[in-house]
Amino acid sequence: MKRKEFLGRLIGELTHFMLEGNPLRMVVSLHQEEDGAHISIFDDRPRPDDELKRIRSSLNPKSHRPELAEYYGTMAGHDMAWDARLKLIGWQIKHASVENTDDGLRIDLWLGSDAFNPANFTLHEKQ
């Protein structure tokens, strides 16, 4: 279950990050397609603009880093004792969007194969 382990690692690191803010409420949602997936996580702790910028840059690295993703990416979600490291997620996904909602922080991760195009995602059609 390669996909299960991959998603588990990403969700683990992401929840680790959100829990560092000590939220009173946190929701994780996953939707899978054949060629990709969408993970959405939100809490009740809005973040200041500079922190949003920092999260965005960690989750959306400037360049493709396969050498880091495959090797060090396996550390994602394994360690809850020290600081969460969003870069470990950023190297392994296609795109992340980060924003404050009315209630708190919302992070959306889009991941999948090279063929996967988040624009074709069917979640909204189904809704």
Partner 1 sequence: MERTEKHLYAVMTTILCTMALTGIVVDGPSETMQGFLTLQTHAGRLINDFTTVGVGAALLNSALVGAIGLVLVYFVEVSLSGPTIAAIFTLAGFGFFGKTPLNCLPIIAGVWIAARVAHKSLGSYSLIALFGTALGPLVTYLMFDMGLSLPLSVPLGLTAGLLVGVFLPAVAGSMLQLHQGYNLYNVGFTCGFIGLFASSLLLATDSMASLTIVWSTTYHPVLMLLIPVISLFLIASGVVSEGFEQIRKTFSEFSKIQRLSGRLPTDFFDQSNAGGTLLNMGLLGLASWSYVWVTGAPFNGPVLGGIFTIIGFGCFGKSLKNTWPIVLGAVSATLLFGKDLTAPGPILAALFCTTLAPIAGQFGMIAGFIAGFIHLFMVETTAAWHGGLDLYNNGFAGGLTASLLIAILQWYKTNRPMEDFRQ
Q: Where are the alpha helices (DSSP H) in 1-127?
A: 2-20, 49-59, 66-71, 87-90, 123-126
Interacting residue with partner 1 among 24, 81, 115, 119 (CB under 8 A): 81
| Cross-strand pairs, 40 | 29, 108
First and final C-alpha spacing in the chain: 28
114 binds partner 1 (CB under 8 A): no
Stretch that binds partner 1, among 27-35, 36-44, 62-70, 111-119 (CB under 8 A): 62-70
71 binds partner 1 (CB under 8 A): yes
Neighbours of 87 (CB within 10 A): 18
Phi, psi (rounded to 5 degrees) for 100: -90, 135
115 makes contact with partner 1 (CB under 8 A): no
**Segment interacting with partner 1 (CB under 8 A) among 9-17, 43-51, 59-67, 96-104:** 59-67
Residue 18 is a binding residue for partner 1 (CB under 8 A): no
- The footprint of partner 1 (CB under 8 A) covers 61-63, 65-72, 74-75, 78-82, 87
